[in-house]
Amino acid sequence: MSEAQRVLLVTGGSRGIGAAVCRLGAKAGYRVVVNYTANKAAADALVAEIKAAGGDAFAVKGDVGSEADILAMFESVDRTYGRLDAFVNNAGIVDAKARVDEMSVARLERMMRINVVGSILCAREAVKRMSTRHGGKGGAIVNISSAAAVLGAPDNYVDYAASKGAIDTFTVGLAREVAAEGVRVNAVRPGIIDTDIHASGGQPDRVALIQDTLPMKRAGTADEVAAAVLYLLSDAASYTTGAILNVSGGR
């Protein structure tokens, strides 16, 4: 099947890495579903951009911290395109810089609900549509992890790092679970990427402050991460599953 017939769903697709994946996926010919939580204007603008370039896309609101929203999002894909071939588990949060001995249970529960439970539930719904066990025709899933999963993020956000460590383990386990059912599952571990996630965590100048300490002396771009994601979704990676690809500039 040509990529022009395939459907790609990206959670957290209205900004940053997610938006870059949506753009590159559309250029590759995928019909793109842009999930967003709150910024409808950004999602609609991205859909309009994709359509203006000759692509096919639509936006769907949904908080991956809510199972009801996740189910509604996937049902919207079913109604609109009737299939799902590629899924990117990108939506996630980071919180304010803090030590573990300063973290509240509310912060920890929110972090794990969105970054871990939400990602697993989204993958569950993707597998239900892709797996030959469920009557699907196969597909590919890419989870967005983080270099923090192996670095631990001390004195910043160990809880976020732990949530991404869970994503790494989940990637390997799910990949082996569905490997014989036509579904490939891989992950990308971005390092310091120049997006607004740092501002959302209360450190808008983080990239500028630390880029000289990075092996390549610069932050990565969302497009560089997106290129790795699109490779793992593509037929060029047809024998790759359970892999975790570092896009971290050597960090």
Q: What is the DSSP letter of 9?
A: E
DSSP letter string, 133-165: GGT---EEEEEE--THHHH--TTT-HHHHHHHH
C-alpha distances (whole Å) from 211 to each of 164, 204, 207, 217, 230 are 22, 13, 6, 5, 26
Distance CA 251, CA 245 (A): 13
Report the SS3 class of residue 57.
Answer: strand
- What number of residues does the chain have? 251
Catalytic residue positions? 160
* β-bridge partners, 66: none
pLDDT per residue as tens digits for the range 73-107: 999 999 999 999 999 999 999 999 999 999 999 99
3-247 adopts what CATH topology? Rossmann fold (3.40.50)
**Mean pLDDT, rounded, for 21-27:** 98
- Cβ-contact 60, 77 below 8 angstroms: yes
The three-class DSSP label of residue 180 is helix
pTM of the complete model: 0.94
pLDDT in tens, 175-214: 999 999 999 999 999 999 987 765 555 566 767 778 888 8
Residue ranges covered by each domain of the chain: 3-247
Q: Residue 51: how many CB atoms within 10 A of its CB?
A: 14
- pLDDT number for residue 139: 98
